[in-house]
Amino acid sequence: MQKNAIVRYLNKKDSKNKNTVIVEPIAFTECAACHEKCSRKGYTVPAVNIHNFDLKEGSLVIIKSSKVQEALESIICLLFPIASAILGFCLANPIYSLIKKGGTPDTACPEGLKSLIVLVFFVLASLLVYILSRARKLLIYPEITDVLEQEN
């Protein structure tokens, strides 16, 4: 992913946040001069300035995130709910034996209840993925690859 962004805050260079700045991704370069609140305005994210560009607040930059990170996030977002549904299918009989009084661990679960358990596991996992994706916490920060213009 490659996007244009505006530098909003400069962090002090310390050992914990070395060369990290806060940027706001924008839809178009025209959005850099705009101060209106619209749907094109983004959220702020930290970005790493590994090339040590001379940045100021308001600088227009290009940020790029790792393709490996994007691929891993995509795979996890797809496979986690599916794996949870499979887990729900495998745990349907033990869950049914806990619910049914006097049931043994090998008691067969009715198909309708088994489907419901699989659906609940899938929905809960999908909800967890949705909530975590909205938290906007990045494990690996995008990096600043170029400076388009400096704010004067």
Which band of pLDDT confidence, cut at 50, 70 and 90, is reported for residue 15? very low
Highest mean pLDDT among 62-66, 68-72, 78-82, 99-103: 78-82
- The model's pLDDT over 137-151, given as tens digits with 9 standing for 90+, comes to 666 778 888 888 765
pTM, rounded to two decimals: 0.63
Q: What is the pLDDT of residue 59?
A: 82
How would you label 51-65 residue by residue, b for 16+ Cβ within 10 Å and e otherwise? Answer: eebebeeebbbebeb
Report the run of H or E that residue 104 belongs to, with start and end: none
Q: What is the pLDDT of residue 37?
A: 58
Q: What is the pLDDT of residue 139?
A: 64
- The model's pLDDT over 19-55, given as tens digits with 9 standing for 90+, comes to 788 888 887 655 555 655 555 556 777 888 888 888 8
- The model's pLDDT over 74-109, given as tens digits with 9 standing for 90+, comes to 898 999 999 999 999 999 988 888 888 776 767 788
Q: Following CA atoms 40, 46, 49, 50 in sequence, which dihedral angle do they give, to the nearest 10 degrees? A: -120
Q: What is the pLDDT of residue 119?
A: 97
User: In this predicted model, which residue has the larger pLDDT, 104 or 123?
Assistant: 123
Q: What's the rounded Cα separation, in Å, for the pair 21 and 55? A: 9
Quote the mean pLDDT of the chain.
80
> Which DSSP state fits 108?
P
The CA-atom distances, in angstroms, between 86 and each of 1, 34, 74, 92 are 32, 49, 19, 10
